C-alpha cells in the first residue's frame, strides 16, 4: 500500500470552478488525489490543510530543543517539538507527497514555509556530521523511493524553467532544494498560469494542467507498482 501525504497551502478555502474565488492549486491537488484513489482506493491518504490551519513558526524554544540531543531534552523541549515530530512522522511515512500551493509574491506562502521549517530537522530528516566541515549534511529520507508532486497556481505567465519570467519564480526552486536536502529528489511539477489574465488563457492552462495531472497519476502508478508499496 502506498501512502499519500496531501498538503494544501492556499489561503483560499474553496475550489476554482466551484466556489467564488476558489483555489486553483486546491483544484489540482484534489484532482490528483481523486484520480489516484479511483484506481487505488486501498492507498492511505493523510491530509493537511495548512492554508487554513498553518503550522507554527519556529521559535527560540523550538531551536533550543531541536539542537539539543534527544536524550538530553527536558520535558518542555519535547513539548516544543511535538508539532514538528508529528509533521515529520507524516512525511517519513509517505510514499508520495502532494503539495498544492499558490505562488505568492515570487515565493511560497508563509504557511508552506512554516511547514518546511518544521520538517527539516537535524537527525530526523537530515544527518549532521560535525567532523565534516566541507559538507556535514546527509539526507535521511533515502531508505526507499519517494516522490513529491508540486501543483502550483500562478497569477502570471511564462514563469516555468527556461521561460521569460522564470527568474521571478522562487517557489519551485525553493521547494526542490528543501525536499532534496532531506532526500526527496523525484519531483514532479505542474502549474496553472494566467489567473490575472483570465479568460481563454486561464481556461486553456487549467485544461492542460488537468491533463498533465491525469497523465502523471498513470505514470507514477505504473512506475511504483508494488516497488513503492509499504506495509499496511
Sheet holding 96-102, edge to edge: 44-49, 3-8, 96-102, 147-153, 186-192
Residue 131 marked as a ligand binder: no
- Alpha carbon separation from 200 to 15, 191, 194, 225 (Å, rounded): 19, 16, 9, 38
Residue 111 marked as a ligand binder: no
Rounded-to-integer distance, Cα 171 and Cα 156, Å: 13
Residue 24 marked as a ligand binder: yes
Looking up cell 530537522 gives 121
Residue 10 marked as a ligand binder: yes
Q: What ranges make up the beta strands (E) of 16-65?
A: 44-49
Annotated binding residues: 10, 23-25
Annotated binding residues for FMN: 10, 23-25
Amino acid at each position: 500500500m502506498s501512502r499519500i501525504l496531501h498538503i494544501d497551502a492556499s489561503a483560499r478555502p474553496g475550489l476554482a470552478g466551484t466556489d467564488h474565488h476558489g483555489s486553483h492549486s486546491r483544484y489540482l491537488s484534489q484532482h490528483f488525489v481523486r484520480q489516484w484513489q479511483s484506481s487505488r482506493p486501498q492507498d492511505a491518504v493523510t491530509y493537511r490543510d495548512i492554508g487554513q490551519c498553518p503550522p507554527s513558526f519556529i521559535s527560540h524554544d523550538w531551536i533550543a530543543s531541536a539542537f539539543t540531543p534527544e536524550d538530553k531534552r527536558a520535558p518542555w523541549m519535547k513539548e516544543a517539538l511535538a508539532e514538528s515530530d508529528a509533521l515529520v512522522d507524516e512525511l517519513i511515512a509517505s510514499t508520495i507527497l502532494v503539495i498544492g500551493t499558490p505562488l505568492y509574491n515570487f515565493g511560497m506562502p508563509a504557511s508552506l514555509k512554516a511547514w518546511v521549517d518544521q520538517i527539516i530537522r537535524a537527525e530526523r530528516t537530515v544527518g549532521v556530521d560535525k567532523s565534516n566541515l566541507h559538507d556535514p549534511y546527509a539526507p535521511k529520507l533515502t531508505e526507499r523511493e519517494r516522490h513529491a508532486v508540486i501543483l502550483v497556481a500562478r497569477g502570471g505567465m511564462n514563469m516555468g524553467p527556461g521561460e521569460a519570467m522564470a527568474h521571478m519564480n522562487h517557489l519551485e526552486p525553493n521547494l526542490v532544494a528543501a525536499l532534496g536536502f532531506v532526500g526527496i529528489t523525484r519531483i514532479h511539477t505542474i502549474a496553472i498560469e494566467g489567473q490575472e489574465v483570465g479568460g481563454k488563457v486561464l481556461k486553456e492552462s487549467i485544461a492542460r494542467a488537468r491533463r498533465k495531472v491525469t497523465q502523471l497519476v498513470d505514470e507514477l502508478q505504473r512506475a511504483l507498482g508494488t516497488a513503492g508499496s509499504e506495509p499496511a
